[in-house]
Structure 1
Amino acid sequence: MSFNIGLSGIRAASSDLNITGNNIANAGTVGFKGSRAEFGDVYAASILGSGSNAQGSGVLLGNVAQQFTQGNINYTENSLDLAVNGNGFFVTSNQGALSYTRAGYFGTDREGFITNNSGARLQGFAVNAVTGQINQGVQTDLRVDTRSADPRATTSVESTINLNSTNVRLPVWQQAYDQQIATAADPANPTPAEIQAAEDAAQATFDPTNSSTYNSSTSVNVFDSLGNPHTLTKYFVKTGGNEWDMFTLIDGRQVPGNQLPTDPGFAPQPTQLTFDTVGQLVTPQPLNNIAGWVPLDSSGQPTGADSPAAFDIDLTGTTQFASSFAVTAVVQDGFTTGELAGLSIDDEGLLVARYTNGQTRTQGQVVLANFANQQGLTPLGDTAWAQSSASGEPVVGAPQSGTLGAIQSGALEQSNVDLSEQLINLIIAQRNYQANAKTIQTEDAVTQTIINLR
């Protein structure tokens, strides 16, 4: 029996050496999880069971258990290199066959699908084409959409401005006003109609090409439905203590009508702004709707964009204080077309595309899977595992939901093998192998002694 006991010990030590050697060989393998040998003792038993003083019959390899502890995370320069910080596995599909991995080597194939270095496609939740929201629970192959981002026409321009309360009426404005008042029946007590006529004459002096006809101005780009940029400029003219006129031109043209200041019949059409005694704008917002605008190109020809285009101007928060003219905020919601400039994946696995027009768009969400018994997974090689009856069903969800960990983009999880520990295990396995060989050698010597008896 000692031969069999020693032989079982040699087999166990050999298995231990194989497992330890495999761990050492994969110490640099991304996403690799080290294994350990789990042994059990053996006792011979009769049909009625073993006695209380039964002798052992050796050892056997009970299990090779993989250790799914967290490996170190190293950062790379590739935004599609992914690491899981916490529980969970990436889900990949190879022609419909699902596998699970912690190795986050990912890139794109010629069709734009996100794949690992074995060609398996990364799984995730897609985006609803209508709502732009993530389709939670609908698992699919993740794909990078490299198409240009569609433009969007401006529908609103919001500005926060301070108009200088120390400004006075401009000489050209005042002169035109006074000249009209002088024609009143009683210049000292003009009627409302005569005052309105004087203000109309003063407003007519506005000329966007002559800075002496307005106090301040500011511009912002707006976009038509084809993504063509146009310059919207607001001009401000002081008309009273707390009164201002605002003239709005697009590409230097009056809206509506697209008239240039040099065109016959050009008549400036201001919007009146009123402030209270503490400098707050009291004119209801939004101010007006820029309607009847026909987008034109630099030569004055229609761009082919939707016509008429319209959008709101909102000056909420604008003030009139005794300080320099300043634009403290400006927001417009249109943008031109954009080309794909880069990709990023956040902690929740959202795949976000960045475009040259400054916009971003979510293109999907990486999913993670977890199992009730991770050690029950079946190793497939290439640092991947398959579901088995022992592992249980996968629990699939978005990163950072439930017990699932977070995604780290631009990083890879290294092997969790501790080389120092494995080298010590090598020494122990070697000693065990030598000791069991000694058992066989000793049994052989005893057997030879018995055979040599006469």
Structure 2
Amino acid sequence: MPFRAALSGLNAAQSDLRVIGNNVANAATTGFKKSRTEFADVIAASNFGASGNAIGSGVRVANIAQQFSQGVVSFTDNNLDLAISGGGFFVLDDNGTRAYTRAGNFGIDQSGGLVNALGQSLVAFQADTNGNITGQTGPLQLDLSDISPKATAAIEVGMNLDANTGTNAFSPAINPANPASYDTSTSLTVFDSLGRPHLGTVYLQKAAGAGVWNSELYLDGTAAGNRVVPTAGSTITFGADGTLSLPAGGTLAYNAFAVVPANALALTVDFTGTTPSTQYGSAFSVNSLQQDGYATGRISSIDIAESGSISARFTNGQTRTMGQVALANFTNPQGLLPLGDNAWAEGFTSGQPLVSAPGTSSLGVIQSGALEGSNVDITEMLVGMITAQRNFQANAQVISTADAITQTIINIR
């Protein structure tokens, strides 16, 4: 009688419904991966095997296979929400135990660690003190301390001085209080060792001689005491082709300037920096102007690039690399062991984790300010639910029919 086969069909349909129900329940769960029930038929066989005309004995659940297809990526307002576009898993550290997830909803804990809601730390490639990424991985720890100030040492100026400018009548005396004593100037903010800002102004005056200009640097005003005298020479010279020929290397070094209580400020001005200075027959213009100092600063934001590079932006305009997100992939993701809470553990058949940077080794890239949703298709689940229900009803009908036949046999006299 087909009772046992039909009963196995009922059990299989129930298993299918449980899997579908779990999928539907997690349709809104971040990083959830749907499962699929896989069935296999059952054949009754003796020690000598089944005959060619053997009748099956029902069905069994062969596997509950998770489907690791990409979920829909939705954007958020939190830079620390991360989604993987492509293959791979985030690596989590829980007191030395590794787990793997697609759920990238992270935040910063009180000690500067990047963690999920369970307190598990995001594993990343570590950065050294210079911001260089090393090959060592570990729980990411952000340095939330203020960045120390750096005194300005070098100024770069890229400008064009008008070749049509005649010799200044006041040459060689430059007096910032008298605009007629110089032909042009440009200013920028520089910093001392305490991070205090100072206004630095470079004054230029056309001197006698082809392509020769006098240059002086003043800090914080126009008083004579604010003048910083060059250590050797105060002129810059351009050749017949309009390019800088003197000083050698294009840099003027100035005597140290007292900025009590900070350390004395010794500055150089490089006229051949990012954009070399020239003397052409066009109006004066400043094409580049920069310096290498900065004030103290504190973290204003954390940015994470597609490559997984994690950078901290500071209020003083500086940027520091803190690490790089590490992703893991497996030869057989189906072999991963589900742990719950949207995480998996390495399994015997999954293979060992292959850890690398995002965008390499078939790994996806990181999308910051985004989360990967569940890959559950509700319409697909509803159709599967109807199918499983019909299977259940059909197997129940088989049992009902078999019962009727059995009752008929019992009633035979």
TM-score tier, shorter chain, comes to: over 0.9
Aligned partner letter, 2:262: G
Structure 1 CA distance, aligned partners of 2:256 and 2:230? 16
Q: Which moved more, 1:2-11 or 1:91-100?
A: 91-100
Alignment partner, residue 87 of structure 2: 87
Alignment partner, residue 189 of structure 1: none
What displacement does 1:132 show?
2.7
Question: Could you tell me whether the CA contact under 8 Å between 2:235 and 2:247 is conserved in 1?
Answer: no
Q: Percent identity?
A: 46
Residue 39, structure 1, aligned to residue 43, structure 2: no
Structure 1 CA distance, aligned partners of 2:288 and 2:226? 28
Q: Which moved more, 1:60-69 or 1:225-234?
A: 225-234
Map residues 217-256 of structure 1 onto 2, 5 A cutoff. 217-240=185-208, 241-252=210-221
What displacement does 1:339 show?
1.2
- Cα displacement string for residues 117-147 of structure 1 (whole angstroms, at most 9, x for unaligned residues): 1221111111112x431121x2211122211
Q: Which moved more, 1:315-324 or 1:13-22?
A: 315-324
Alignment partner, residue 339 of structure 1: 298
Aligned partner letter, 1:20: I
Residue 208, structure 1, aligned to residue 176, structure 2: yes
Question: Could you tell me whether the CA contact under 8 Å between 1:289 and 1:310 is conserved in 2?
Answer: no
Alignment partner, residue 405 of structure 1: 364
Question: Could you tell me whether the CA contact under 8 Å between 1:84 and 1:413 is conserved in 2?
Answer: yes
Structure 2 CA distance, aligned partners of 1:22 and 1:207? 82
What displacement does 1:164 show?
2.0
What displacement does 1:270 show?
6.1
Helix, strand or coil at the partner of 1:310: coil
Helix, strand or coil at the partner of 1:28: coil
- Computing the radius of gyration over CA atoms, which structure comes out larger, 1 or 2? 1
Alignment partner, residue 262 of structure 2: 304
Distance 1:366 1:267, change over 3 A: closer
Structure 1 CA distance, aligned partners of 2:31 and 2:231? 70
What's the TM-score, normalizing by structure 1? 0.85
Aligned partner letter, 1:311: L
Helix, strand or coil at the partner of 1:293: coil
Residue 281, structure 1, aligned to residue 244, structure 2: yes
Q: Which moved more, 1:310-319 or 1:68-77?
A: 310-319
Structure 2 CA distance, aligned partners of 1:164 and 1:62? 84
Measured on the aligned residues, the alpha-carbon RMSD in Å equals 2.1
Helix, strand or coil at the partner of 1:90: strand
Distance 1:206 1:312, change over 3 A: closer
Question: Could you tell me whether the CA contact under 8 Å between 2:216 and 2:230 is conserved in 1?
Answer: no
Structure 2 CA distance, aligned partners of 1:58 and 1:357? 72
What's the TM-score, normalizing by structure 2? 0.93
Residue 294, structure 1, aligned to residue 253, structure 2: no
Question: Could you tell me whether the CA contact under 8 Å between 1:245 and 1:270 is conserved in 2?
Answer: no
Question: Could you tell me whether the CA contact under 8 Å between 1:285 and 1:314 is conserved in 2?
Answer: no
- Cα displacement string for residues 319-366 of structure 1 (whole angstroms, at most 9, x for unaligned residues): 223332221111212211111110110111111000111110001111
Question: Could you tell me whether the CA contact under 8 Å between 2:232 and 2:253 is conserved in 1?
Answer: no
In structure 2, runs of 5+ residues without a counterpart are none
Helix, strand or coil at the partner of 2:246: coil
Aligned partner letter, 1:412: L
- Cα displacement string for residues 225-265 of structure 1 (whole angstroms, at most 9, x for unaligned residues): 222222221111112343221122233479xxx9347xxxx
Structure 2 CA distance, aligned partners of 1:21 and 1:337? 55
Distance 1:319 1:103, change over 3 A: same
- Cα displacement string for residues 1-57 of structure 1 (whole angstroms, at most 9, x for unaligned residues): 411011000000111111111111111111111111100000111111111111100
Question: Could you tell me whether the CA contact under 8 Å between 1:370 and 1:404 is conserved in 2?
Answer: yes
The one of 345, 349, 353 aligned to 2:308: 349
The one of 344, 349, 353 aligned to 1:385: 344
